[in-house]
C-alpha cells in the first residue's frame, strides 16, 4: 500500500509549479465569466497575461472582511430574482440552489456553498497522510450544523474509502459508548475534544484499543497534547484550512511544518498589503484556488505563517508552511469558531447602556474562555443576562460578562484581545 495519496504529492517541484501556473490563466478566465464579484475584483487585468507568480502578485487581494461586506450588501440590496449565486454569495460563487448540495454559515455570517464535486473541500490527502485508509471507520466529531467542518471531513473520508460515524460535538459518554461498540480506527475533530473523550473513557473504565489515528483541526495542537495522545496509542496529525478555501495544508509523519495542498497557489504577503514577502518571513496567508464552483482569487485568510525551506523528509515535495502563527487582524478562533470584531460591535450596538466593549479570550489549550468586558454606568443582573444571550446569538459561543467603569478599557482600538497561553 502506497504511503502517498497519489503521484501529485511526489512531483518534481518545478513540474508542480509549471502545472499550476499553466492552469492559472484558464482558471482566472473561468472565474471572471462565472462569478461577477471576481470579474469586478480583476477588472482591467488580462487573465491570459497572468503566467507567473510575479504577474499573480499584481492582482488585488480580497480579504475575509471584504467578502463578508459584499455578501451583506448583496443580501440587503438585491431582489430574490437575482439568484442565490449573486444575492447570497455576493457574486463570488458560480453555483446556486440545486447545484450546491449544501450551504453553510460561518460567523459573520459568511455563506459558503458545497457542490457535488468529490472531496469538495480537498481534505482526503490530509486524512491519508494521517493514517486513514479504505475500509476504516472514521468517528467524526466535527460539528455538522452551520459550519462545514463536519462535511469537510465526512466527504474527505468517503473519498479515501472510509465509513463515517457522524458523532458531532458533545454527549461525551455516548461518544465513548459508540467508540467501544463500533471500534473506529480513526477520530476526526478538535484535539481538545479527543482528550476529553479519552479522559471520560478512563473515568468510565472503558478501553478504546481500536483508535490508532486522528485528524485534528480547529484549534491549537501543541506538542504536549500530541505527546499525550501518542502515549495512549493515538497518532494525531493536524490540517489547516478554512470554510472559504477548503484545505490549505496538512501534517505528515515527518511532523516538520504543514505541506501545501496540491491544487492551490499560496503566497505570504505583508499584512494589510498585496506585497509578497521573502520566503521565511512571517506574513499573511493568501490563497488562490482552482475551484470552479467558488473561485476565490488571492484570498487573504488573515492568518499568519511563513514558507519553510526545502522539502519534507516524508518524501512529499510540495512547499511547506510553519503552520498557524497568529492572526493578521483581531479576528480570533475560539473553540473552532472564528469570532469577528464586527460581531462584538453588533452585540454592543444592541444595548444603549453599553459605552464600550472588549472581548477577552483567555485560558489554556482546550479550555478557551470568553469574557465580554463592558463599560457601563448602569450594571445590573438583567443587563448581564441579556448581554450573555446576545453574545450566544451572534457568535454561537458562550461568554461571561464583566462590568467595568467607563474609561477603564485602554484606548488602543482593540475589540478582541487574545491572552491565551499554549503549553
Find cell 482552482 and name the residue. Answer: 290
> Residue 407 is part of which domain span?
334-418
pLDDT at 331: 80
Find cell 450588501 and name the residue. Answer: 73
Assess contact for 380 and 353: CB atoms under 8 A. Answer: no
- Closest CA relative to residue 295, chosen from 48, 65, 74, 115: 115
Residue 388 lies in a domain: yes
**Alpha-carbon distance 419 to 203, whole Å?**
31
The answer to whether residue 1 scores a pLDDT higher than 60 is no
pLDDT at 229: 97
Assess contact for 111 and 105: CB atoms under 8 A. Answer: yes
* % pLDDT > 90, the chain: 82
Kindly state the greatest CA–CA separation across the chain. Answer: 67
- Position 12 confidence tier, pLDDT thresholds 50, 70, 90: very high
Span 136-161, pLDDT tens digits: 999 999 999 999 999 999 999 999 99
* % pLDDT > 70, the chain: 98
**What is the CATH number for 367?**
3.30.300.30
Phi/psi for 154 (5° steps) reads -65, -50
**Alpha-carbon distance 237 to 393, whole Å?**
33
pLDDT at 268: 94
Q: What is the mean pLDDT of residues 74-101?
A: 95
**Alpha-carbon distance 251 to 261, whole Å?**
11
Residues 6+ apart with CB under 8 A from 112: 89, 103, 104, 106, 148, 243, 244, 294
pLDDT at 423: 54
Assess contact for 304 and 329: CB atoms under 8 A. Answer: no
Span 21-79, pLDDT tens digits: 999 999 999 999 999 999 999 999 999 999 999 999 999 999 998 999 999 999 999 99
Q: What is the mean pLDDT of residues 392-402?
A: 94
The answer to whether residue 235 scores a pLDDT higher than 90 is yes
How many contiguous H segments (helices) and E segments (strands) does the chain have?
12, 21
Q: What is the mean pLDDT of residues 294-322?
A: 95
Alpha helices in 84-186 (DSSP H): 84-87, 124-129, 149-160, 172-182
pLDDT at 412: 61
**Alpha-carbon distance 93 to 86, whole Å?**
7
pLDDT at 422: 63
Helix 341-349 / helix 381-395 crossing angle, nearest 10 deg: 140
pLDDT at 338: 86
**Alpha-carbon distance 315 to 9, whole Å?**
8
Residue 230 lies in a domain: no
Residue 45 lies in a domain: no
Element (H, E) at 343: helix 341-349
**Alpha-carbon distance 59 to 38, whole Å?**
11
- Closest CA relative to residue 111, chosen from 88, 84, 142: 88
Cell reading at 274: 498585496
pLDDT at 178: 97
> Is 0.85 topped by the overall pTM?
no
Residue 202 lies in a domain: no
Note the residue count of the chain: 423
Phi-psi region for residue 131, left (φ > 0), alpha (ψ -120 to 50) or beta?
Answer: left
Span 326-370, pLDDT tens digits: 777 778 888 888 898 778 989 998 999 999 899 999 987 668 899
Residue 81's SS3 state is helix
Residue 353 lies in a domain: yes
What is the domain count for the chain?
1
Residue 352 lies in a domain: yes
**Alpha-carbon distance 154 to 193, whole Å?**
17
**Alpha-carbon distance 243 to 112, whole Å?**
7
- Closest CA relative to residue 66, chosen from 299, 395, 275: 299
Alpha helices in 232-296 (DSSP H): none
pLDDT at 335: 85
pLDDT at 365: 63
pLDDT at 356: 86
What residues does 319 pair with on adjacent strands?
none
User: Given the DSSP bridges, would you call strands 320-321 and 299-305 parallel, antiparallel or unpaired?
Assistant: unpaired
Assess contact for 286 and 273: CB atoms under 8 A. Answer: no
The answer to whether residue 133 scores a pLDDT higher than 60 is yes
Least confident of 11-20, 80-89, 269-278: 269-278
Q: What is the mean pLDDT of residues 405-421?
A: 82
Assess contact for 249 and 308: CB atoms under 8 A. Answer: no
- Closest CA relative to residue 302, chosen from 339, 260, 357: 339
- Position 9 confidence tier, pLDDT thresholds 50, 70, 90: very high
Name the strands in the sheet holding 307-308, side by side, starting at the edge strand that comes first in the sequence: 163-166, 137-140, 186-189, 213-216, 235-242, 246-250, 258-260, 320-321, 307-308
Residues 6+ apart with CB under 8 A from 69: none
Mean confidence (pLDDT) of the chain? 93
Find cell 465509513 and name the residue. Answer: 163
Residue 376 lies in a domain: yes
pLDDT at 364: 78
Residue 56 lies in a domain: no
Residue 303's SS3 state is strand
Amino acid at each position: 500500500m502506497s504511503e502517498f495519496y497519489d503521484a501529485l504529492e511526489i512531483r518534481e517541484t518545478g513540474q508542480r509549479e509549471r502545472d499550476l501556473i499553466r492552469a492559472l490563466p484558464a482558471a482566472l478566465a473561468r472565474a471572471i465569466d462565472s462569478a461577477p464579484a471576481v470579474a469586478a475584483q480583476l477588472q482591467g487585468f488580462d487573465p491570459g497575461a497572468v503566467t507567473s507568480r510575479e504577474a499573480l502578485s499584481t492582482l488585488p487581494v480580497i480579504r475575509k472582511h471584504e467578502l463578508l461586506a459584499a455578501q451583506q450588501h448583496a443580501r440587503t440590496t438585491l431582489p430574490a430574482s437575482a439568484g442565490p449565486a449573486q444575492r447570497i454569495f455576493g457574486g463570488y460563487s458560480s453555483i446556486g440552489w440545486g447545484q450546491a448540495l449544501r450551504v453553510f454559515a460561518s460567523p459573520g455570517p459568511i455563506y459558503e456553498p458545497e457542490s457535488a464535486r468529490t472531496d469538495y473541500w480537498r481534505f482526503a490527502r490530509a486524512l491519508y497522510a494521517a493514517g486513514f485508509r479504505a475500509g476504516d471507520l472514521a468517528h467524526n466529531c466535527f460539528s455538522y450544523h452551520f459550519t462545514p467542518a463536519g462535511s469537510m471531513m465526512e466527504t474527505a473520508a468517503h473519498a479515501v474509502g472510509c465509513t463515517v460515524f457522524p458523532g458531532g460535538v458533545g454527549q461525551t459518554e455516548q461518544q465513548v459508548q459508540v467508540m467501544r461498540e463500533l471500534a473506529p480506527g480513526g477520530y476526526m475533530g478538535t484535539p481538545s475534544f479527543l482528550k476529553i473523550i479519552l479522559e471520560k473513557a478512563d473515568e468510565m473504565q472503558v478501553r478504546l484499543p481500536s483508535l490508532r489515528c486522528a485528524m485534528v483541526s480547529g484549534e491549537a495542537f501543541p506538542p504536549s497534547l500530541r505527546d499525550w495522545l501518542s502515549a495512549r496509542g493515538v497518532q494525531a496529525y493536524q490540517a489547516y484550512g478554512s470554510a472559504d478555501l477548503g484545505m490549505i495544508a496538512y501534517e505528515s509523519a515527518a511532523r516538520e511544518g504543514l505541506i501545501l495542498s496540491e491544487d492551490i497557489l499560496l503566497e505570504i504577503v505583508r499584512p494589510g498589503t498585496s506585497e509578497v514577502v521573502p520566503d521565511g518571513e512571517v506574513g499573511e496567508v493568501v490563497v488562490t484556488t482552482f475551484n470552479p464552483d467558488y473561485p476565490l482569487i488571492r484570498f487573504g485568510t488573515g492568518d499568519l505563517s511563513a514558507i519553510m525551506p526545502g522539502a519534507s523528509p516524508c518524501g512529499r515535495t510540495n512547499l511547506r508552511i510553519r503552520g498557524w502563527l497568529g492572526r493578521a487582524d483581531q479576528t480570533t478562533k475560539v473553540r473552532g469558531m472564528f469570532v469577528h470584531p464586527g460581531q462584538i460591535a453588533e452585540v454592543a450596538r444592541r444595548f444603549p447602556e453599553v459605552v464600550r466593549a472588549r472581548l477577552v479570550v483567555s485560558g489554556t489549550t482546550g479550555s478557551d474562555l470568553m469574557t465580554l468586558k463592558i463599560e457601563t454606568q448602569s450594571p445590573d443582573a438583567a443587563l448581564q443576562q441579556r448581554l450573555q444571550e446576545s453574545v450566544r446569538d451572534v457568535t454561537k459561543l458562550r461568554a461571561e460578562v464583566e462590568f467595568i467603569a467607563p474609561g477603564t478599557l485602554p484606548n488602543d482600538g482593540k475589540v478582541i484581545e487574545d491572552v491565551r497561553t499554549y503549553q
